[in-house]
Chains A and B, each alone.
Chain A
Amino acid sequence: MTVNYNEILSALIDGELQGQELEQALHLLHTNENARQQWQRYQLASDVLHGHELAQQSYDLTEKISFSINDEPSYSVTKNNVISLPQQFWKKSINFAIAASVGALAVVGVMSQSENNLIADNVQLAVSENVEPLARAQTTGKRWTVGEKEVEQRLNTYLVDHNEYTGASGVFSYARVVSYDMGQ
């Protein structure tokens, strides 16, 4: 074994290896008994320096445990399932931002609804007896029916477009339930 290999093992103790060198180090530990012992002594010295007391002088559980888990299944969890701490931070931040936005929209919505009510209470509509409606709407049960098919079709198209638009553009779902049913 060359000195460079030991240097890689030393860097592995410090968690400073990546890519090809990490592969090399792991390969060494799995194939070279000397490298394995060397690395364990580096680790021992590091543990002692960090103030970790030793339980017993010399033992290696690796082989026994490896043998025991030989019968255990190998896993196939994808890398994405392990969430690193920075990712967690961003995930939480995004969730918080969404929650805050929904809250703000709810407040604005309630305020504007109150304003609309005020306007509705105070405004008087102008009425003219001579005006001919473009299309007559009648109520049957709880639903409006429009006399002219063409107008009803156009209304339906508007509603479908609106629903599709709200779904695609990120507008919140409370606005998606739109119809001209009575009482809504």
Chain B
Amino acid sequence: MSVDLELVQRVQAGDKKAFDVLIMKYQQRIVHVITGFVHDPVEALDVAQEAFIKAYRAIPNFRGDSAFYTWLYRIAVNTSKNHLTARARRPPAMDVDAMDATNYYDAPELKEFETPETKLVSDELQRVIHQAIESLPEDTATAIKLRELDGMSYEEIADVMGCPIGTVRSRIFRAREAIDIQVQATMNEGEQQ
């Protein structure tokens, strides 16, 4: 069973804290999806919050027919569209009404919407992370690439690399530690500027 499903089941059984972990895990992606509809960053965070609360209320009905993130993504998109519809009824504060939002939904340019600042941060992080991976010992770099870029499970990586699963786990961890040092440095630089 996936960790997501395990967490969902915990929420369904009354463990509200398990929902915190799902928020921590998916908030970045969900806020990005919502920013595609609601361009104002502060407003997007409010809509994200609303989407997570809706997800919590609907979670007893989640039956695992799709992955949890897919389900959450749909809630986020619907919440964004409802938000835009509600905005369109009032004096327009933005140039996107509900109809546009529906059209935008299928448009990749809306999904990929980003400000120059966020684009810059994403690009810089991408560069730093790839650089960190390239400077790793070969077996460590291979393990993290197989995991993150090829999406393999620990078991599959162990098969490919001919080593125990425990070794795969520690190699991936070491790679993450090395990447994290660079990520922290980049984030600190960003905050100082």
Taking beta carbons and an 8 Å cutoff, which residues of A are in contact with B?
6-7, 10-17, 22, 26, 29-30, 36, 38-50, 52-62, 64-66, 68-70, 72, 74-79, 81-85, 88
Contact = CB atoms under 8 A, between A and B. Distances in A.
Q: Main SS of chain B's interface residues?
A: helix
Given A42-B180, A45-B176, A61-B27, A52 B126 contact: no
A101 B20 CA distance: 47
B27 A45 contact: no
A75 B60 contact: yes
B45 A57 contact: no
B17 to A, nearest CB: 5
B13 A77 contact: yes
A57 B20 contact: no
A150 B49 CA distance: 78
The 7 A-B residue pairs whose C-beta atoms are closest, nearest first, are A77-B12, A55-B31, A74-B14, A55-B32, A10-B173, A15-B3, A7-B173
A22 B16 CA distance: 16
Interface residue range, chain B: 35 or more
A47 B28 contact: yes
Contacts of B63: 81-83
A79 B16 CA distance: 15
Interface string B12-40: 11111111110111011101101100000
A69 B53 CA distance: 7
B122 to A, nearest CB: 5
Contacts, number: 185
Given A44-B125, A78-B13, A81-B12, 20 more contacts: A13-B176, A16-B3, A22-B6, A38-B180, A41-B187, A45-B183, A46-B148, A48-B129, A49-B148, A52-B29, A53-B112, A53-B119, A55-B34, A57-B118, A60-B27, A65-B20, A70-B16, A72-B57, A76-B14, A88-B64
Contact of A14 (B9, B129, B172): B172
Q: Main SS of chain A's interface residues?
A: helix
A75 B14 contact: yes
B184 interface: yes
A11 B169 contact: yes
A14 B170 CA distance: 12
B125 A65 contact: no
A43 B28 contact: yes
B21 A29 contact: yes
Contacts of A81: 12, 60, 63
A15 B4 contact: yes
B134 interface: no
B31 A56 contact: yes
Contact of B173 (A11, A47, A55): A11
B8 interface: yes
Interface in B139-173: 147-149, 153-154, 169-170, 172-173
A13 B3 CA distance: 9
B81 to A, nearest CB: 17
